Amino acid sequence: MGALILQQTINALTVGSIYALIALGYTMVYGVLRLINFAHSELFTAGAFIGLALAGALGIAGHPTGGLLVGLITFVLVGLVGVSVEIVAYRPLRGTSRLAPMLSALGMAVVIQNAVMLIGGRRPMIYPSFLPSGAIDVFGAVVSYKQITIFLVAVVLMVGLELFVNRTNLGVRIRAVAENAETASLVGINPNMAISLIFFIGPGLGAVAGILYSSFYGVATFTMGFVIGMKAFTAAILGGIGSIPGAVLGGFLLGAIETFGTAWMPVLTGGVIGTEYRDIFAFSVLVLILLFRPAGLLGEHVSEETRVYKSDF
């Protein structure tokens, strides 16, 4: 029993790492623009396909040592796509109702998904692993080097993001714009620069998550971003939308709920509910958190200006 629990914990950390990386993109954009960037999930998919194309072009497909180079280039390329999406689809709609940017985000999600389909094809793509092979035994649980690598990469990126936002001059500018863009502009901060930086970092992290996800499972499809993106969005809400620590917490918690639920539900229901129903756990969490704690576990991160706006209603 102890080995089984440890094994599921390891699996939960692996899945949770990917959810957390994607959730950071959602929460960063919401923290600055109060916008749910539905196109973010498709940039996760685009990252996986761009990584695959780069690996083939550079002749390093399936080589773990080339994974770092592919990850860095893909981060930059998808980050630039994210900036372009913000300039084209969101920036002209600032100051309008919240419905207009949301519809624009949904439209961009469809555009990016169809672009990936046209370029990459409809069929699932066999994905070469950029992660090291092999495994070790830890108290009866099997821990693969792939799982260790995914967790370590995610932790390094999440810690790096936290330090960047809180310890650098650019991070201060981003937080100032998130608090009040108009006031920030009065003290010489360019809100467009800060917002573009957010749309560069968030999709970049999502792209790395796409490479890690596809490398781990060995397959990539042009539709995979929808379900994974919804789960990451659930993780962001669970932890507290707009909060970077909340996105990380929500990602790992959702990974644990889904993993342990998938492992134990068939046993508890006598096989009535099988592992094919694993998605039900994430979306059940979404419904419950919206009903009973819509601000999330750590609370929704909003500026003082937004609090005053809400209090007026």
pLDDT at 116: 95
Helices (H), the chain: 2-33, 40-58, 64-85, 99-120, 145-167, 169-179, 181-186, 191-217, 224-239, 244-268, 279-292, 304-311
* pLDDT over 70 at 305, yes or no: no
Mean pLDDT across the chain: 88
* pLDDT over 50 at 202, yes or no: yes
DSSP 62: T
Tokens encoding 227: 């379900």
Mean pLDDT of 161-189: 91
Q: Which residues of 55-69 are buried (b: 16+ CB within 10 A; e: fewer)?
A: beeeebbeebebbee
List pLDDT tens digits, range 81-123.
999 999 999 999 988 888 898 899 999 999 999 999 999 889 9
pLDDT at 4: 85
pLDDT at 303: 53
> Taking Cα atoms as reference points, which of 284, 290, 229 lies closest to residue 258?
284
Higher pLDDT, 63 or 178: 178
Crossing angle of the two packed helices 64-85 and 191-217, in degrees rounded to 10: 140
- Of the pLDDT bands very low, low, confident and very high (cuts 50, 70, 90), residue 313 is very low
Mean pLDDT of 143-160: 94
Distances (CA, A) of 57 to 50, 51, 53, 208, 261: 10, 10, 6, 18, 41
List pLDDT tens digits, range 231-263.
999 999 999 988 899 999 999 999 999 998 888
pLDDT at 44: 96
- Of the pLDDT bands very low, low, confident and very high (cuts 50, 70, 90), residue 152 is very high
> Taking Cα atoms as reference points, which of 12, 56, 15, 32 lies closest to residue 201?
32
pLDDT at 294: 84
> What is the model's pTM?
0.90
Mean pLDDT of 254-274: 77
Higher pLDDT, 280 or 201: 201
Higher pLDDT, 303 or 84: 84
- Of the pLDDT bands very low, low, confident and very high (cuts 50, 70, 90), residue 271 is low
pLDDT at 309: 39
> Taking Cα atoms as reference points, which of 301, 313, 247, 13 lies closest to residue 149?
13
List pLDDT tens digits, range 2-57.
788 899 999 999 999 999 999 999 999 998 888 889 999 999 999 999 999 998 88
Domains of the chain, by residue range, sit at 18-224
Tokens encoding 280: 């039900």
pLDDT over 90, % of the chain: 60
> Taking Cα atoms as reference points, which of 94, 100, 60 lies closest to residue 177?
94
> Taking Cα atoms as reference points, which of 215, 54, 49 lies closest to residue 131?
215
CB neighbours of 16 closer than 8 A, spacing ≥ 6? 251, 252, 253, 254, 255, 256
> Taking Cα atoms as reference points, which of 228, 230, 249 lies closest to residue 238?
249
pLDDT over 70, % of the chain: 91
